[in-house]
């Protein structure tokens, strides 16, 4: 005897489809700041590159395009190199790896970096109805070449081996950048004195002890680049508030301006092929910066952007002097 299954004649009311709640907007600036705060809290200075490999001290670059990463991405990638022990400053996206015949190794973790994008948005305050251009941060992920199998990176673009005995060429590059900027039209003054190195924004003069006063030439140029970076904030140049509003002529060492100079010096050293040599950050420095980053998620992003602008001002001045008409 077969069992029959009867269906109820009553109709069941279907509930309307539930709309997913909108996802909260990502605060990318906060995500970046959290990574920097985590590193500083652990005692790692993110703007110092990893120094264990033969290519240490160079700016991170994209393997496929050969372009150097800029601004905050330099420090995020340096931090990843140090944290994960990478010795090669070369990066690429997953798609670039596949197109180059490589395969990202299973279990490898990407590093999120950022870029600015723009959108047109209605400006309700503008009676003409014109739209305003709004900037916003986006992220994309890159992998270090050491996590990609099947690549031929021996002749990678942008890579220059740094041999231990190759100091003279790198130091000549440092001298060319420093003197090229300091001898360009409208540059700050620069004097050598047996005093603490500093930039006096009231007189627009960089002051540094002579080369012989430093333990190494690298330490000399790291310090000189730091003070030169301060000078780019002068009202006649980039007009950074940390310089233009320093009424006493001396700088608050715990303010954003000091971080700008520190980051810019690291970038300049990397451009010249030397590892930046700086004093260990005092507890007061780190505490001051951590406090700012915990209350202002854009603090490090702004400082990194300002540092890149300083480098862009210093290096073209040097290049223009070097490649100008004979």
**Average confidence score pLDDT of the chain:** 78
Which strands make up the sheet holding 198-200, listed edge to edge?
189-192, 205-208, 198-200
* Residue 317: per-residue pLDDT: 61
Could you tell me if 173 and 259 lie in one domain?
yes
pLDDT tens by residue, 314-326:
998 655 544 443 3
pTM, entire model: 0.63
pLDDT tens by residue, 73-97:
999 999 998 888 787 788 999 999 9
Is residue 156 over pLDDT 50? no
Could you tell me if 180 and 262 lie in one domain?
yes
Whole-Å CA distances, 259 to 37, 281, 304:
14, 11, 8
| 240 in a structural domain | yes
Over residues 302-322, mean pLDDT: 83
Cα angle, residue 46 at apex, residues 285 and 63 outer, rounded to 5°: 155
* Residue 56: per-residue pLDDT: 36
Could you tell me if 202 and 180 lie in one domain?
yes
If phi over 0 gives left and psi between -120 and 50 gives alpha, with beta otherwise, what is residue 249? left
Over residues 243-251, mean pLDDT: 67
Domain end point (choices 133, 159, 185)? 159
Separation CA 31–CA 37 (nearest Å): 10
| 21 in a structural domain | no
Separation CA 294–CA 22 (nearest Å): 27
Is residue 160 over pLDDT 60? no
Lookup: tokens for 151: 């690549």
- Could you list the residue range(s) of the whole structural domain that residue 74 is in? 26-159
Domain end point (choices 159, 193, 221)? 159
Is residue 161 over pLDDT 60? no
Number of domains present in the structure of the chain: 2
Could you tell me if 82 and 204 lie in one domain?
no
Domain end point (choices 159, 184, 219)? 159
Could you tell me if 178 and 316 lie in one domain?
yes
Cα angle, residue 126 at apex, residues 121 and 129 outer, rounded to 5°: 65
Separation CA 46–CA 40 (nearest Å): 7
Q: Are 34 and 46 in contact (CB under 8 A)?
A: no
User: 77-104 burial string, b = 16+ CB within 10 Å, else e?
Assistant: bbbbbbbeebebbbbbbbebbeebebeb
């Amino acid at each position: 005897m077969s069992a029959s299954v009867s269906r109820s004649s009553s109709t069941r009311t279907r509930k309307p489809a539930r709309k997913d709640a909108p996802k909260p907007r990502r605060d990318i600036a906060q995500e970046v700041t959290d990574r920097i705060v985590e590193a500083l809290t652990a005692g790692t200075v993110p703007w110092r590159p990893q120094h264990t490999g033969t290519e240490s001290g160079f700016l991170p670059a994209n393997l496929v395009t050969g372009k150097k990463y800029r601004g905050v991405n330099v420090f995020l990638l340096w931090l990843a190199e140090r944290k994960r022990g990478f010795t090669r400053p070369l990066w690429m996206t997953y798609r670039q790896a596949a197109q180059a015949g490589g395969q990202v190794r299973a279990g490898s973790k990407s590093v999120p970096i950022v870029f600015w994008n723009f959108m047109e948005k209605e400006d309700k305050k503008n009676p003409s109805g014109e739209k305003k251009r709004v900037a916003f941060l986006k992220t994309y992920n890159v992998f270090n070449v050491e996590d990609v199998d099947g690549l031929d990176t021996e002749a990678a673009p942008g890579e220059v081996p740094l041999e231990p005995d190759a100091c003279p060429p790198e130091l000549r590059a440092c001298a060319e950048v420093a003197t090229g900027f300091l001898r360009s039209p409208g540059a700050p003054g620069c004097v050598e004195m047996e005093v603490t190195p500093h930039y006096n924004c009231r007189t627009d003069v960089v002051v540094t002890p002579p080369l012989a006063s430093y333990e190494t030439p690298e330490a000399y140029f790291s310090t000189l680049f730091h003070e030169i970076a301060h000078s780019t904030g002068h009202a006649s140049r980039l007009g950074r508030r940390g310089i233009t509003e320093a009424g006493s002529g001396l700088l608050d060492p715990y303010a954003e301006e000091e971080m700008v100079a520190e980051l810019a010096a690291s970038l300049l050293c990397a451009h010249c092929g030397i590892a930046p040599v700086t004093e260990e950050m005092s507890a007061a420095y780190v505490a001051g910066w951590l406090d700012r980053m915990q209350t202002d998620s854009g603090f490090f992003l702004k400082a990194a952007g300002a540092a890149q602008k300083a480098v862009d001002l210093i290096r073209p001045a040097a290049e223009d002097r070097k490649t100008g008409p004979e």
